[in-house]
Structure 1
């Protein structure tokens, strides 16, 4: 009998923290879940650890990998393709889930589904606490942090962290056979689907300890201030330079941001409303065009960032290309 919630985990050489993560999932106060793990052809003892858990627990399953290394993005997309459930969560191999993570996220998911019409794609994501390799706190985003998940803001600034995320099956069915090469990251793509066609909900409660270490595929966003040492002014100046470099790279033709917007517009062309089609057109021209197109994007869509100073760096780049 399949559980209501499928937790999807992709592993790769996860020996160091893997047991902590799986044990934190086993300690959840909500028990109606199955954990599906696809190992991305690890060269350490990760697969041995997974086999031990699979033998011991009937709700932990190793997914066939065909001896193929896909990388994190493709591996998670493959898991969504082969696993079926009512709801899906996504687990990294090196974090630590707090006991109410599944139950709190699921409660908000069901509330969001009741607000929407039948069969609407819904994505729920939560707050997190950034910790070091030993789970010591480094930073926690404020509970009051504004969550900008309108389509244009999300297309430029992904504010959805995959390891905090739950999607419903309606959203999962909309993923289809997406070309992973055209997608920035799985959580980013899922967020665009929910923003364009359904509901994105944010839970300010911390549900996960998001471990930062030398092996992270994608680290936590530290906002404007650089996370290094030195005075606050110095860190802010470094942060401005860092964000300026990022937007100079991404707000142009040929970037992953531009590529993903264009692909999204093509992939879901038959489902887009006239307004969404127009919005994506303005967005793509603003990203790939010159200052006039950038200014039109700002005036028409007013894309936001979680950090208002970062937003102004983004605007400066858009009008000075």
Structure 2
């Protein structure tokens, strides 16, 4: 009998923190889960650690990798298609889950499904996190309101969904399907967020459920806007934060950027089931990103995209109207 929750994990040379992470999942106060792990051709002893856990625990399963390195994004997309459950969670190899992470997220998921009055609509729930160093010492915690926006324009430009805090339901998994052009997908969490917005709902739980470890081996690190922009005076930190975000947006507001390509591919991939309103919104977004200042101004006026905080939002607007 399958468990209510499937937890999927993709590993790659993760032996340093892997046991600590898996042990934190084993310590969850909710027990009706199975953990499926696909190793992406590690060259360290990650595979040995995984086999050790698989032999000891009936609810931990190592998934065949067919001797192929896919990268984190493709590996997670493959995993979610491989497993079957009512709900799906996504685990990095190097974080630490607080004991009530699964139970709190599942409670929020069921509340969101009940509120929608339709168990068959796609739902994505994500939570807050605490950023820690390699030894799990706290660095900072994003404020509860930091990741609260759920509108399509904001999600399309600024992914606020951190995959390792995320749960999706079966209805959303069914819509993922075969992502043929994975190169045009930013990351699996970003793609799932767009699906949830266009066809269902995104729900944010401001409670911290995970210690999000930051170290030199992170594939994708935490992004907290203007925060953590180096040493020096407050003004120097602000100026560095502005320059950092301006460089990012100038890079992404182009036709060949991953942000623009993902919007275009999503519009094409789901064209048969998107509503006219969602198609129009995606068209405004795409034109606003790849076009000149007029298109950028139109995007701002029509959709009012938000960002991680007010300062970053105004940097984003400036980048849109000065292309």
Quick check: TM above 0.5?
Answer: yes
| C-alpha distance after superposition, 1:186-206 (max 9, x if no partner) | 000000000111110000110
| C-alpha distance after superposition, 1:130-169 (max 9, x if no partner) | 0000000001011233511200100000000000000001
Aligned to 1:208, the other structure's residue is in SS state strand
Q: Which residue of 2 aligns with 1:107?
A: 107
In the TM superposition, 1:38-77 aligns within 5 A as 38-77=38-77
Q: Which residue of 2 aligns with 1:9?
A: 9
Structure 2 CA distance, aligned partners of 1:233 and 1:254? 34
User: Which runs of 5 or more structure 1 residues have no equivalent in the other structure?
Assistant: none
Is the 8 Å Cα contact of residues 226 and 236 (structure 1) preserved in structure 2? no
Q: Which residue of 1 aligns with 2:142?
A: 141
Structure 1 CA distance, aligned partners of 2:218 and 2:147? 25
Structure 2 CA distance, aligned partners of 1:307 and 1:180? 29
Question: Please, which moves more after superposition, 225-234 or 174-183?
Answer: 225-234
Q: Pick the aligned partner of 2:232 from 207, 230, 233.
A: 230
Structure 2 CA distance, aligned partners of 1:234 and 1:226? 12
Q: Name the count of aligned residue pairs.
A: 321
Is the 8 Å Cα contact of residues 226 and 238 (structure 1) preserved in structure 2? no
Q: Which residue of 2 aligns with 1:269?
A: 271
Q: Which residue of 2 aligns with 1:128?
A: 129
- Output the aligned Cα RMSD: 0.8
Structure 1 CA distance, aligned partners of 2:140 and 2:229? 10
Structure 1 CA distance, aligned partners of 2:57 and 2:93? 18
1:289 aligns with 2:260: no
User: Which runs of 5 or more structure 2 residues have no equivalent in the other structure?
Assistant: none
Q: Which residue of 1 aligns with 2:313?
A: 311
Is the 8 Å Cα contact of residues 38 and 63 (structure 1) preserved in structure 2? yes
| TM-score of the pair, normalised by structure 1 | 0.99
1:162 aligns with 2:163: yes
Q: Which residue of 2 aligns with 1:27?
A: 27
Q: Which residue of 1 aligns with 2:183?
A: 181
Q: Which residue of 2 aligns with 1:249?
A: 251
| C-alpha distance after superposition, 1:216-273 (max 9, x if no partner) | 0000002113432222211111110000000000011111100000000000001111
Q: Which residue of 2 aligns with 1:221?
A: 223
Structure 2 CA distance, aligned partners of 1:152 and 1:136? 35
| TM-score of the pair, normalised by structure 2 | 0.98
Is the 8 Å Cα contact of residues 105 and 166 (structure 1) preserved in structure 2? yes
